[in-house]
Amino acid sequence: MIQPKRLFDAVATQQEKFPKKDMLVSKVNGEWKPWSTAQVQETVNRLSAGLLSLGVSGNDFTPENADKIAIISNNRPEWVITDLAVQQTGAILVPLYPTTNPLEIKFILNDAGAKYIFVSDKEMYDKIRELMGEVPTLQNIYSFEEVPGAAHWSKILDASTDELLAKVEAIRPTISEEHLATLIYTSGTTGTPKGVMLSHRNIASNVFFCKESFPFPDDPACKVLSFLPLNHIFEKMVTYIYLFSGISVYYAESMDKIADNLREIKPDGFTTVPRLLEKVYEKIMSKGNELTGIKRGLFFWAVALGKRYDNNISGGPWYNIQLAIANKLIFSKWRDALGGRISFVVTGGAACQENLLRIFTAAKIPVYEGYGPTENSPVISVNRRYPAGNTVFGTTGPLLNGVEMKFTEEGEIIVKGPSMMHGYYKRPDLTAETIIDGWLHTGDIGTMVEGKFLKITDRKKELFKTSGGKYVAPQPIENKMKESPFIEQIMVVGNERKFVSALVVPSFNILKKWMSQNNIPFTSNEDACKNAQVIAMYEKIAERYNAGFNHVEQVKKIRLMPHEWGVDTGEMTPKLSLKRKAILEKYRDVVEEIYK
Q: What is the pLDDT of residues 62-90, one digit of tens each?
A: 899 999 999 999 999 999 999 999 999 99
Alpha-carbon gap, residue 300 to 142, rounded angstroms: 52
Q: What is the pLDDT of residues 159-190, one digit of tens each?
A: 999 999 999 999 999 999 999 999 999 875 44
User: pTM for the whole thing?
Assistant: 0.86
How much is the mean pLDDT over the chain? 94
CB-CB contact of 77 with 124 (8 Å): no
Domains of the chain with CATH codes: 9-270 (3.40.50.12780), 271-460 (3.40.50.12780), 465-594 (3.30.300.30)
CB-CB contact of 445 with 412 (8 Å): yes
Give the pLDDT score at 410. 85
Q: What is the pLDDT of residues 127-149, one digit of tens each?
A: 999 999 999 999 999 999 999 99
Kindly state the percentage of the chain with pLDDT values over 70.
99
Instruction: Tally helices (H) and strands (E) across the chain.
Output: 22, 26
Contact partners, residue 250, CB within 8 Å, separation at least 6: 22, 25, 26, 32, 223, 224, 225, 226, 261, 265, 267
Give the pLDDT score at 358. 96
Q: What is the pLDDT of residues 234-245, one digit of tens each?
A: 999 999 999 999
CB-CB contact of 536 with 478 (8 Å): no
Beta-strand pair 269-272/223-226 = parallel
| pLDDT average, residue stretch 465-493 | 89
| pLDDT average, residue stretch 288-314 | 95
* Top-confidence residue, 550 or 344: 344
Give the pLDDT score at 202. 98
